[in-house]
Structure 1
């Protein structure tokens, strides 16, 4: 396998600049000053099924029409969708970027948010499930 280290470093730096994960988003939100607006890019039924507390519901198809009236261009945004098998967060982050927002994608989506044991908000309030040991560290953090 022939890998150019500089090309790889550029790719990894780009991914870190444009992606974040559920654990980092959770830590930022619980800090009280996350420094971004969290966008749930899923449709109304998915939003009602359960969403991340504090997220703004802005389905990706509605971003071009609604984002300018909802979002401050000076505040970064983080978009999420269902999970790794869905590219809705990528499409949302692209649409937001094209409108001039500093956008990132939350990899893993709401699936990994829930699998890490973080609360989802639904019609009956907030609910959590036990962390999945396959994706969530046994300690307070994975140490990365």
Structure 2
């Protein structure tokens, strides 16, 4: 009987040792896998001196509140339609108004009637001491083209993308243009 007990005890020890070995191998494999995993923590897009509307939309989708969008077109054009949340700062008042209402270190996206007007406004802001100014390439038209959120008098009448999936309406619009 003692021989059977001894054999059972030896078998139990071997099983325990085997389980410990397997456990250690699995733990080592997991640790090795973790050490070799690429960094997957997403990071928000950074600020560039010339930015696309996609760059701006990406930052908005990240929910970053620490930037300002400036529309330097005339007030009537701004009122007709602009990027949602943009501030109106006509180019002739731009530097004075920006200095009185924005921190020099604030991230600023600026757009005008043309890319040239945008570049000129951005240059004025940089010369006035604003450190992080991005020219929004394509301006309001490019923003609307990607379905960015808009507001204004005209924009409230025809929300962006209202007929995007209405095939009948789009076909009628195209037929009336012919």
Corresponding position of 2:136: 106
The Cα of 1:125 is off from its aligned counterpart by 7.5
Corresponding position of 2:96: 65
Work out the CA distance in 2 between the residues paired with 1:63 and 1:93. 10
**When you count helix as a share of all residues, which structure comes out higher?**
2
Unaligned runs of 5+ in 2: 1-46, 165-178
CA gap 1:70/1:108 in 2 versus in 1, 3 angstroms: same
SS in 1 for 2:82: coil
Give the paired residue count: 113
The Cα of 1:126 is off from its aligned counterpart by 8.0
Corresponding position of 1:46: 77
Q: Is 1:37 aligned to residue 68 of structure 2? A: yes
Unaligned runs of 5+ in 1: 1-15, 131-144
Greater relative CO, 1 or 2 (CA 8 Å, sep 6+): 1
SS in 1 for 2:97: helix
Corresponding position of 1:128: 160
| Alignment RMSD | 2.0
CA gap 1:99/1:125 in 2 versus in 1, 3 angstroms: farther
* Alignment counterpart, residue 87 of structure 1, candidates 100, 116, 119: 116
CA gap 1:126/1:105 in 2 versus in 1, 3 angstroms: farther
Q: Is 1:117 aligned to residue 147 of structure 2? A: yes
Using the TM superposition, name which of 44-53 and 116-125 deviates more: 116-125
Normalized against structure 1, the TM-score is what?
Answer: 0.70
SS in 2 for 1:100: coil
Cα shift readout 1:82-138 (whole Å, capped 9, x = no counterpart) = 34xx422111101110111121100011011011122220133782134xxxxxxxx
Corresponding position of 2:27: none
Corresponding position of 2:21: none
The Cα of 1:43 is off from its aligned counterpart by 0.7
Structure showing greater Rg: 2
